[in-house]
Amino acid sequence: MQENKHSHNDNHKQEHDHNMMEHDGNENGHDHHQMMVDDFKKRFIISLILTIPILILSPMIQMFLSINLRFIGDSYLLFGLSTILFIYGGKPFLKGAVTELKEKSPAMMTLIAMAITVAYIYSSLTVFILTGNDFFWELATLIVIMLLGHWIEMKSVMGASKALSELIKLMPETAHVIDDNGDLIDTLVKQLRSGDNVLIKPGEKIPIDGIVYEGQSSVDEAMITGESVPVDKGVDDDIIGGSINGEGILKFKVTRIGDETFLSQVIKLVKDAQASKSKTQRLADTAAKWLFYIALSMGIVTFVVWYLLGAGLHFAIERAVTVIIISCPHALGLAIPLVTAVSTSIAAKKGLLIRNRAAFENARKLNMIVFDKTGTLTKGEFGITDVREVGISSDELLTIAYSIEINSEHPIAKGIVNEGKKKNLEKLEVKDYQNITGEGLKAKIEGREIFIVSPGYMKTKGIEFDEESYEKLAQQGKTVVFVLEDLKLLGYIALTDLIREEAKEAIEQLKEINVSSVMLTGDNERVAAYVAEKIGIDKVIAEVLPGEKADKINSLQKKGYIVGMTGDGINDAPSLAMADLGIAIGAGTDVAIETADVILVRSNPMDVVNILKLSKATYKKMVQNLIWATGYNIIALPLAAGILYNQGIVISPALGAVLMSLSTIIVAINAKLIKID
């Protein structure tokens, strides 16, 4: 499916290694990428070994060092070693250039391939046909430096993506099918047919979409739809494959299979979103594209001008070749990879895992961040916000609720239990504990019959309570449970999905750098509005289905916004794929993580701000390094072309080597100076 969310396939032009880094995103994607890293490392080492004798045998290097190691046949040995190096070390660049030219989009691979091919052909001609200086030493050092740069970058950003396989893994492999005799038969999910009757036990994952015909339970759909509160399910209610059953037993009839299921639709949405994502070109490729055009055009112009001026074929070719080779500076091979390696290291230390370099580099342009709510701005777990006691103390009320709820796995129960543990409340002895399906719990404590129930139960039984106070809490998106003794109200407890402490600060800092924030959630309007008000988000889009989420992102992009999407659930996967930058919360589902460009390991919304800062700092260093790597061309290219030849000034290969070595050292030092506030 994708590498770093949109895969190397989708961002084919975004990694310097292009087709050498591509893979189809299946479960072997990571192994494939590791093989590519190992391949570049091996090619670099072998090429480096070959380069040493090439440099020693090169007449130009010997002259530069004022030594003479010439012997009969040395030029043929030099040609042989250089041929091996050109074929073996240059293969990735030659293949990459073919791919780029097929796509009519020359970039880094084409520039390198042109320089090494011209150097090799011309140098070979000087051995057998022409008289003149060879460029085998230039060929060797250029290949070695470029292989080193690609190896460094690939190693620093290595990752794999298998979002589709992660989505498929969400589904259980078997289902409890009810046959005509009422017996349960464990059947493979892929063998289920529309109309089959299936039973779901408490705590099990629902295997496929269907409609309930018997039973009651609450179903956790948080990672599917974004709804933070478990949804009560009964007869005639739809249930979604991949969601988790609560405390009750459900029997349902299969309604959708294969490509019609909810999860299959999510998979299709992710694919479509990735396919529609624009192919952002990385800065180095843009620079390389222009250098390619400059080198090619200046090489041709140089040859034509000198030939027409009567300088002779040999001289015209030599000047043209020199121009083309110098146009591909060695430092260019390290300018971006070194910045990539340093920024990736800084990101890792700050808890940011970069999976898609192109999307990360362009994060500096974002002017809107869209946040999912559940699990992103909130912790995805319930906590107590209000306690209203009637006739007893709040601690007594909590102690009773804590003692009973400790037996339940319901998310609401966990919130009460966590509060009880925090307060070190006494755990009372509980007897005759039982679920009231879809309505609450019942148990005995010290002979007293205690109920912990929903507002619906209160209304059904006609038990009076402060409805005005309840409505106020409900309007804030809080879930309220009532504690009764023999149907007499002891009090009620309000809970809500806890807001992450850092969320408010993150929104404030985004506003300071003129980045808009939007909440896009599948949760209900009231809950979303309450959270947005608490943390300062201006715009809220609630009760949105997964498919609609991706559409909302797309509509924002069409309005001119460059959008980053932060999420953690299955329902966020299509929108993470659609966004210009997909950011996954590290504590989220594998699907969201595998679909994102950047992962927040610490699940801290403040790290969204750090992404933008690091992206801007990285881009700044890349621009600086590209200037250092190519800036000397402003002087070197005209001199190499021989513009001042009649004045006795022409760039020599030795001087070119010194200038390129100097620029390489500068970009290496400059890359180390990246920092963010």
Partners of 496 in the β-ladder: 383
> Inter-axis angle of helices 29-57 and 74-102, to 10 degrees?
150
What is the C-alpha radius of gyration for the chain, rounded to an integer number of angstroms? 33
The CB density around residue 638, as the number of other CB atoms within 10 Å, is 15
Q: What share of the chain is helix, strand, coil (3-state, %, to 5)?
A: 55, 15, 30
Tokens of 307: 């030939």
Q: Is the dihedral of CA 73, 79, 84, 89 positive or negative?
A: positive
- Give the integer Cα–Cα distance in Å for 206 and 387: 34
As a whole number of angstroms, the distance between CA 44 and CA 427 comes to 66
Q: Name the nearest CA neighbour of 480 among 412, 527, 434, 409.
A: 412
Strands (DSSP E) contained in 77-233 are: 174-178, 184-188, 197-200, 210-214, 217-220, 231-233
Q: 190-228: b or e for each residue (b if 16 or more CB lie within 10 Å)?
A: eebeeebbbbbeeeeebbbbbebeebbbbbbbbbbbbbb
In this structure, what token pair is assigned to residue 407?
């037996």
Whole-number Cα distances in Å, 293 to 431, 564, 574, 652: 82, 34, 38, 23
Which residue among 285, 372, 597, 607 is the active-site one? Answer: 372
Is 523 a known active-site residue?
Answer: no
Region of residue 543 (left: phi > 0; alpha: psi -120 to 50; beta: else): left
Q: What is the largest CA-CA distance in the chain?
A: 114
According to DSSP, residue 205 is labeled: B
176: number of Cβ within 10 Å: 16
Please report the DSSP string for 431-444 in residue order: EEEEEETTTEEEEE
* Residue 211, SS3 per DSSP: strand
SS3 499: strand
Distance, in Å, from the CA atom of 611 to the CA atom of 598, rounded to the nearest integer, reads: 8
| Residue indicated by tokens 């290595």 | 158
Distance separating alpha carbons of residues 260 and 198, to the nearest angstrom = 18
Catalytic residues: 372
